[in-house]
Homo-oligomer: A and B are copies of this chain.
Amino acid sequence: MSYQPGRHFLQIPGPTNTPLPVLAAIAKPTIDHRGPEFGKLGLEVLSGIKTIFKTESPVVIYPASGTGAWEAALVNTLSPGDRILMVETGWFSTLWSRMAKKLGLEAEVIPGDWRHGVDAAVIGAKLAEDKAKAIKAVCVVHNETSTGVTSGVAAVRKAIDQAGHPALLLVDTISSLGSIDYRHDEWGVDVTVGGSQKGLMLPPGLSFNAVSDKARAAAKAATLPRSFFDWEEMIAINGKGYFPYTPSTNLLQGLKVAIEMLHAEGLDNVFARHDRAAEATRRCVRHWGFEIQCANAAEYSSALTAVRLPEGHSADALRATILERSNMSLGNGLGPLADKVFRIGHLGDFHELMVTGVLTGVEMGLAACGIPHKPGGVQAAMDYLGGNAARMAQAAE
């Protein structure tokens, strides 16, 4: 029996630390997915999940991890050879565009520097140029998990509208849903892609497509082959709380509890909690003297912070040291950021004490690795959180 004492701190930007009530719900015995008890559960989660996406439209729940829901968004709405516009915000937007190409789509990727979010103006310009309306969809990542940059989705919608362009808007919210405010209906998104293992605080294994009427209409004409991911069969049978094929019953049991927990806290409180954790983390990082990967303060992610180490220092060696001595997992740098950047996930089921605890682990790791930094970052985080609390206390009076 091997054993490392104490709780593991899973501070990658997802999967996140699953709360025990959710794990307990998942560990309940599997029920008959064709029986009456399941029907009730199905209606409950299908309706509950809409409140998280902030939509009145159907949300399709796949028994598949998030990458599957990316594919679902594409194969339901598009046909072989279709032109789509994608934006390189980092590693995950890149993977999504690679997938589009593998599926036979002609994906034009607007290049990016991995330090900024989506530039809606560029999208607008591209669409304006597209007199033939050949571009069928615009795909953006709301919160780029590889860089900690959150893009303005409403602005993209506005740009599309101002260009008078009929392209669909497809948005990946895998690492923002349930952590950062997101509004499928209000922002006019056609397909929102989500996953279970981040802000929803579940293990990986479920993923989502929130689907607008316009997207469903497009699906009727779309000819990319699809079966497992096909929306219509799902939506039809979902009306009674069931699924066309075996769903991930146990994860759905957990999803019910996770949605209840989010609403018990209040979504706005959830988002504010993430905002504070993120700001505390950034103040700490800046105090240490490190650069934050996100170069635009208006686009800081509240779900994670990617930290750039000074030249000549290995982020992966730092992470390995921290894993070994502090039993904490941090996210690695991806693609061109490999070994240059590490990522601190501050999303899901946590509170301020976990934020400061995490930062002590990083600060001790920096010392252990001999990476030059100005000590006292944790103090800066505590000062902010304390001051914040004091202000909140005043405000409440």
Contacts and interface: CB of A to CB of B under 8 A. Distances in A.
Interface stretch (A51-59, A157-165, A294-302, A320-328): A320-328
A170 to B, nearest CB: 15
B6 A32 contact: no
A65 interface: yes
A35 B17 CA distance: 15
A314 interface: no
Contact of A248 (B2, B4, B203, B329): B203
Interface in A218-239: 224-228, 230
Contacts of A30: 10, 15-18, 197, 203-204
Contacts of A260: 1, 3
B4 A351 contact: yes
B80 A225 contact: yes
Contacts of A265: 3, 5
A364 B356 contact: yes
A358 to B, nearest CB: 8
A332 interface: yes
A250 B28 CA distance: 14
A37 to B, nearest CB: 9
**Ordered nearest first, which 8 A-B pairs have the shortest CB separation?**
A357-B357, A6-B351, A356-B360, A27-B27, A32-B329, A203-B250, A67-B245, A3-B264
